Amino acid sequence: MDVSAIEPGRDFRKAIDESVSSCSVLLAMVGQEWLSTKDAQGRRRLQDANDFVRIELASALRRDIPVVPVLVRGAKMPTPEELPDDLKELAFRNAVELTHARWRSDVEVLIRALRPYMDEPGGEHRAQKTGEPGREAMPTPTGSASATAAAASIDAQTLERVTRALAVHIGPIAEVVVKRAAKRSSSVDDFCEKVANEIENEGDRARFLKSCRG
């Protein structure tokens, strides 16, 4: 969460800009009301130059960072005429659609599209050093015998059980989170901790941890 990652007193615009500058790729989640969503004063949020989403997208587009529009719930790509000047380039970025009917295959398409950016030389190091807003940076796999043995000890049945439990809290993306955590964990406890970090509510996180380790 941006609000927990930005220190009190810091200019949030600069903080967001610095965070975006270190990312390899940025996802723009676009729903049916993405263009028309308004703030408390009734103004269209995309017309507000200080809106967090607009700042993040404009910063990435200005640096020519790959920006992938992810269309959900039947949303359509906005046209250049519908966007403010600093976001017009978004209309020309190739999009990926996520649908309920083809969820698994659509997510696989998205993962394949992102993989080249994640595998860039230094990409893992950069992610570990900077982290994501509000997330603890995950270490890169060491390839040690202990880490390999720990990953092997997390059987498919456990992965499936943990995925179902996590999906209750964060939705279908749980499958991707669990697979990633399993590859980067040094023990089963470490695996549970990494996965549990995705759950915001402290009580839900504690209950999940108990069931995961059990």
pLDDT tens per residue, the chain (214 residues)?
455 556 666 666 777 777 777 788 889 999 988 888 888 888 888 888 888 888 889 989 988 888 999 999 888 999 999 999 999 999 999 899 998 888 888 888 888 888 887 754 434 434 443 343 333 333 333 344 444 444 446 788 888 889 888 888 887 778 878 888 888 888 888 889 988 988 888 888 899 988 888 7
User: Would strands 67-72 and 26-30 be described as parallel, antiparallel, or unpaired?
Assistant: parallel
Q: Are residues 17 and 108 in the same domain?
A: yes
Of 124, 151, 174, the last residue of a domain is 124
Both 33 and 94 in one domain: the answer is yes
Residues 27 and 60 both lie in one domain: yes
Q: Is 117 part of a structural domain of the chain?
A: yes
**Domain stop point among 99, 124, 149:** 124
Q: How many domains does the chain have?
A: 2
Residues 6+ apart with CB under 8 A from 168: none
- Residue 101 sits in a domain of what CATH number? 3.40.50
In a domain, 47, yes or no: yes
- As to burial, measured by CB atoms within 10 angstroms (0-12 exposed, 13-18 middle, 19+ buried), residue 60 is buried
In a domain, 171, yes or no: yes
User: Is residue 129 situated within a structural domain?
Assistant: no
87 with 188, same domain? no
Positive or negative torsion for Cα 145, 147, 150, 155: negative
Residue 81: domain span: 2-124
In a domain, 179, yes or no: yes
Residue ending a domain, among 59, 91, 124, is 124
pTM of the model: 0.51
- Look up residue 54 and give its two tokens: 């607009």
- Contacts with 154 (C-beta within 8 Å, 6 or more apart), sequence order: 182, 185, 188, 191
